[in-house]
Amino acid sequence: MNPPLWKASTRAAHEDIDRLSTLFELTPEPSPQSVIVLTHPHEDDAVIEAYYDEAPDGAALTAILGQAVKVEALPDIDWVKLSQEGLPPVRAGRFFVYGAHDKGKAPANAVALAIDAGVAFGTGHHETTTGCLMALEWLAHTRFRPRSALDLGCGTGVLALGADRLWRIPVVASDIDPQAIGVTRENLRLNGGQMRIRPVVAEGFAHPMIAAAAPYDLIIANILAGPLTQLAPGIRSHLAPGGRVVLSGLLRTQELLVLSFYRALGFRLARRWRLGPWSVLLLAL
């Protein structure tokens, strides 16, 4: 993928984040390379940014989203490298997630994860990723001991690496984006090349490797509310009896919607974490 040359952005109330970010993703050509949501705990709204390799039509985007969209050209800069150099390490319980610029700074008692985000989502700085790491650590402090796990929509592979570090179990890390799987493979190398983690390009559960390794005691899905509801039957059919599911990528306002799909399949809410406008749900059978 070429570096993005254009950025379109708009502000959104928390209750509109999911709708507006989805509209960005579904806009006709040119399609965005990526869509990100920037939130701040002390602000009532967020900024949604979409990145393109050719100029989008600002007027068309404004009409589609129903509110003003700003389009601007980006300088020819390695934005990934620049943004990562400005990111501090993240602490999520015992986890210490850091970039290459902070190598050697991990505390002695931390579970250190080196993450190069590349073009994939998941440096640990977003509340959804931080919350999932907190949920994994909380599970590790209980008597729950999974024998296998699936990281569905793995992005950078940070959550698969977290599960590997906590339990030393086989983990399938899947993502619909081949470049995300490339980033995951690189992060496995940076963290010692864990052979228990098997990255695979797959849409949902449509890959024989995912079926062959099922059922899973633990499934992690940090995606978006819409896909989480669509994937509910597949998650149920691939989960072992007594298994656990960690769901994130959803807003607080979307909790009841997502839960309704899973409760209909026999799941119960075991615990939830709320970070800013975002939620992490831990479900059990």
With a cut of 50, which residues of the chain have pLDDT below it? 1, 78-86, 119-124
The ranges assigned to domains in the chain are 6-77, 122-284
**Distance in angstroms (rounded) separating the CA atoms of residues 199 and 178:** 10
Give the containing element (helix H, strand E) for 17: helix 17-26
β-pair partners for 49: 9, 36
Name every residue whose Cβ is closer than 8 Å to that of residue 192 and which is 6 or more positions away in sequence: none
Q: Which of 245, 241, 217 is closest to 232 using CA atoms? A: 245
Predicted local distance difference test score (pLDDT) of residue 49:
87
How does the average pLDDT of the chain come out, rounded? 84
Class of domain 6-77: alpha beta
pTM: 0.72
CB 239 within 8 A of CB 262: no
Predicted local distance difference test score (pLDDT) of residue 100:
61
**pLDDT of 102-130, one tens digit each?**
565 656 677 767 776 554 444 445 788 88
**pLDDT of 244-268, one tens digit each?**
999 998 888 899 999 999 999 999 9
**Distance in angstroms (rounded) separating the CA atoms of residues 174 and 212:** 13
Predicted local distance difference test score (pLDDT) of residue 30:
86
CB 266 within 8 A of CB 285: yes
Q: Which of 55, 64, 72 is closest to 19 using CA atoms? A: 64
Comparing 6-77 with 122-284, is the CATH topology the same? no
Predicted local distance difference test score (pLDDT) of residue 59:
92
Give the containing element (helix H, strand E) for 7: strand 6-13
Predicted local distance difference test score (pLDDT) of residue 237:
97
Predicted local distance difference test score (pLDDT) of residue 114:
73
**Distance in angstroms (rounded) separating the CA atoms of residues 150 and 126:** 21
> b/e for 198-212, b at 16 or more Cβ within 10 A?
bbbebeebeeeebee
Q: Is 107 exposed, middle or buried (0-12, 13-18, 19+ CB in 10 A)?
A: exposed
Give the containing element (helix H, strand E) for 241: strand 239-251
Q: Is the peptide bond before 170 cis (omega within 30 degrees of 0)?
A: no
| Angle, alpha carbons 247-174-194 (nearest 5°) | 105
Class of domain 122-284: alpha beta
